Structure 1
Amino acid sequence: MKVLIAGATGYLGRYLCVEYARRGHHVTALVRDTARAEGLADLLIEGEATRPETLNGIMDGVDLVVSSLGITRQADRLGYREVDFQANLNLLREAEAAGVGRFAYVHVLNADAMAGVPLVDAKTAFVEALHASDMLATVIAPTGYFSDMGEILAMARKGRVWLFGDGTQRLNPIHGADLAVAIADATDAGRGWVGIGGPDVMTQDEIARAAFTALGTSPRITHLPDTLRRATLAVLPVLPRRISGPARFFLTALGLDMVAPRFGTRHLTEHFATLAAEVER
């Protein structure tokens, strides 16, 4: 099977390339700069999903498109509507024209509860367009990535972790390699919607304590009133998009339980231990 990965140079995209190749598929990676992606896939195609003219013909003969394309942290002048929605819509339209068999998209868990957050609204709008298409679709809604949990470890390394509320909100983030396996399983099985998380459900407090344990230091956790989180969310829209966009997403998610069916073999405690050991070298 021929698989095209969009967002291939991102945290999850690299694992997707590895996993589909491991299963014996021919993998094409859509990248903005081939110099950054050497050895990533069987074939590298340079293009920008925000510019549909660069996508012409790239999906001829492709059986499956998997897109993890999106903005997590604002890095350039483009917004969520231009990337998370329109760029993915450009990919979908090219896939339709090429007769691709299935389009898989990485969404976010609890999107309904985060309506009004620009990042989530853009992703939801694309999912609606995908479901309105005749294209067979697989939508994957993960709880969060291990890479996001690095912020907790970074705070612990500075000596204190700051949490909103009482720290009892639960989540089971997933490692990118495990999520790639889950996505490939879902597309192989032709599933339509998959909520997915890692093997361990932990409270925010437990995650903070795990970070201190990995560092070999005593836990120092400060719980801020949740009203402060909500007040911050209220004023964020007036700040520049590069600041307010990521903050609105993460602060909203922090107020929710982000728990989905458990999957994978990689544990957050082990991930923290590995990161702590790498810094000590």
Structure 2
Amino acid sequence: MKTVLVAGATGYLGRYLCAEYQARGWTVVALVRDAGRAGELAADRMVEAQATRPETLAGAMSGADLVVSALGITRQRDGLSYRDVDYQANLNLLTRAIQDRVPQFAYIHVLNADRMAGVPLVAAKSAFVRALQEAPIRSTVIAPSGYFSDMTDFLSMARGGRVWLFGRGEARLNPIHGADLAKATADAVDGGVAWLDAGGPDVFTQNELARLCFDTVGKPARITRLPDMLRRAAIRILPRVAPARIAGPAQFFLTAMGLEMVGQRFGTHHLADHFRRLHADG
């Protein structure tokens, strides 16, 4: 029986990765900061460690056949930066994996990272990907187009009665459910795929996504399209006027809004169904 260590196991995707590998018959080791606060995980055991402190990783990967890292931060806290976590903590995991002779390492990146080099969150991830690709270990990089969980902001705007977009709202995206991404990740790793741009089964323009949200909440579609120059200006200004914990996620969101975020289509979960469940649950 093979063993996988999942880093970032308590995050949105990490939980699905644990469940996917356990369903495939792997022994799943979940790397967590605090087992008492991790909640229920589909894991055979939990290992408490802080990837930002490499000395705590000793022994965590013993006997592992694979490390899958979905480790990263979207909001800065505990005084840690994107460089501390998305780059250095993952580098600590990679270094330990090589020391412990783990044969494979998979990492969850972001689609279109090469077009978001000025975004600190993405720059830190890209720096780690370069280190991973140069390391003496078989690697797989998964670059998702966006998660279903990221789309709830649009649904919240529709509930409020108006969705705000930039430009013509014709940029396309195909976000993917965590369960579908976990399956695509495991399949790519099994197949020895070096890089995979992954998205969900349904492709939307931003206008179509907004209308889907209004249909879900049962309100007339009120979409305001702001000049795209405002989006570009906000990306430049935010780091000067807002703390990093606010500017960082906003820069990423605003930059992605100006790009085609469409990956290879995977999965069976549909965003419309996801929105209906969220709305029904209030």
Out of 205, 217, 220, which is 1:218 matched to?
220
* Equivalence map 1:55-66=2 (5 Å): 55-66=57-68
Out of 165, 173, 195, which is 2:167 matched to?
165
Tell me how far 1:243 sits from its aligned partner. 1.0
Tell me how far 1:38 sits from its aligned partner. 4.2
Cα pair 1:37 1:44 within 8 Å, conserved: no
Distance 2:273 2:67 in 1: 32
Out of 258, 265, 272, which is 1:255 matched to?
258
Tell me how far 1:267 sits from its aligned partner. 0.7
Counterpart for residue 37 of structure 2: 36
Counterpart for residue 6 of structure 1: 7
| Structure 1 residue matching 2:264: 3-state secondary structure | coil
Identity %: 64
Q: Which runs of 4+ in 1 moved over 2 A?
A: 36-39, 73-76
Distance 1:87 1:204 in 2: 34
Counterpart for residue 189 of structure 1: 191
Query: Deviations for 1:14-56, whole angstroms, at most 9, x for unmatched residues?
Result: 0000000000000000000101224411010001000101101
Tell me how far 1:73 sits from its aligned partner. 2.3
* Equivalence map 1:1-281=2 (5 Å): 1-40=2-41, 41-238=43-240, 239-279=242-282
Give the TM-score normalised by structure 1.
Answer: 0.98
Tell me how far 1:273 sits from its aligned partner. 0.7
Give the TM-score normalised by structure 2.
Answer: 0.97
RMSD: 0.8
Query: Deviations for 1:115-163, whole angstroms, at most 9, x for unmatched residues?
Result: 1110111000000000110010000000000000000001111111111
Tell me how far 1:240 sits from its aligned partner. 1.1
Query: Deviations for 1:167-200, whole angstroms, at most 9, x for unmatched residues?
Result: 1000000001100000011111111111110001
Distance 1:69 1:13 in 2: 8
Tell me how far 1:77 sits from its aligned partner. 1.4
Tell me how far 1:74 sits from its aligned partner. 2.5
| Structure 1 residue matching 2:281: 3-state secondary structure | helix
Cα pair 1:74 1:246 within 8 Å, conserved: no
